[in-house]
Structure 1
Amino acid sequence: MKKIFLACMILLVFIACKEEAKTSVKEVKETITETVVEPVDSIVEVEIKEPVKKSARQLKEELTAKGFKTFDYVDKKTNDTILMQQYFMAFLKRGPIRGQNEEETADLQKEHLAHLAKMYELGYADISGPFGDDGDIRGITIYNVPTQKMADSLANSDPMVKAGRLEIEMHPWWAAKGFPLR
């Protein structure tokens, strides 16, 4: 009888502990659910400001103060005044030193693209790209700087030019300020 009583007591303790554990897990789950489900009321409003559109006159004054050459052109159809700005177009031509091995050429190309990206990020170059043929003129970069001396300096700091794989031919070029490519 003692064995049956002892077995029943062990069984009851075991069942009681099991129920207590279930309750504890259930309580923990409810606590976690309550914490996760709470709504978040923190919406951050961001004010997006439209860029201030400057008149051609204001833009011309700013550019002139920075040393850029400009002139006004009046469109006969619309009677609009168009501000023309001098840029510098660098023709990247096939250079005299082209004996680099494949690995050196690949490294130079990475450095060349990084240089062009940096010129764009700093605002010195507005557009760059290769030509689609295999001619002597390999590509162009249009520099948005006030002087040809500055454009020459930036173009000649290109790793491909320094290595002699490319050489630069620079020309002043006029374009309407702010007109996009189509």
Structure 2
Amino acid sequence: MAEPQIPHLPTSLTPPALGPDTGLRRVVHRALDKSAAAGILSRPLFDRLPLRRWIPQDVHSLMDYKGGTAMALAGLLSDDPVAKAAGLALGSSVIGVSLLTDYRMSLTKLIPIEAHEIADYAYGAAAILAPFVLGYARRSPVAAALHVIVGLSTILASLVTDYRCQTGMHLGGELMTDPEGIGA
């Protein structure tokens, strides 16, 4: 008796482990993409920052969502009401800004990428200072430590992120299509 034939699945339906063009490979390729399809390179903040752009924008985006979620969860799991409020405020603000930023992994593109970069530095500093300024560092040391760690990682990652926008929107509200070859 002959074995039943299994129909060949189209490439788009093939599980990542079965096809030569794996889903992971596509994700990595997209994250490391430096071509025009990846977006227009943002202008350096203060003509200096980021220092050296080696973290891809998509990876940074995922870090923003993960950091915001960790910040909010650390607050929610704390017994201290001040740590809880700070964690929710900081976490929801970074997720909210990320959902509205002009990059690939957002719902809509309302905030220029340069403004997002400034918000990253401000958010990171606020996350580091919050446990000490608001006084919950000793009452809720786990939440405080997580807030400081997320804040430090946000600032350090922002210093080396390859910020790219999708629409050409820059600070000042002007729409540009890369007039000075910034994305070249």
TM-score, with length taken from structure 1: 0.29
Greater share of residues in strand: 1
Ranked by relative contact order (alpha carbons within 8 Å, sequence separation 6 or more), the top structure is: 2
Larger Rg: 1
TM-score, with length taken from structure 2: 0.29
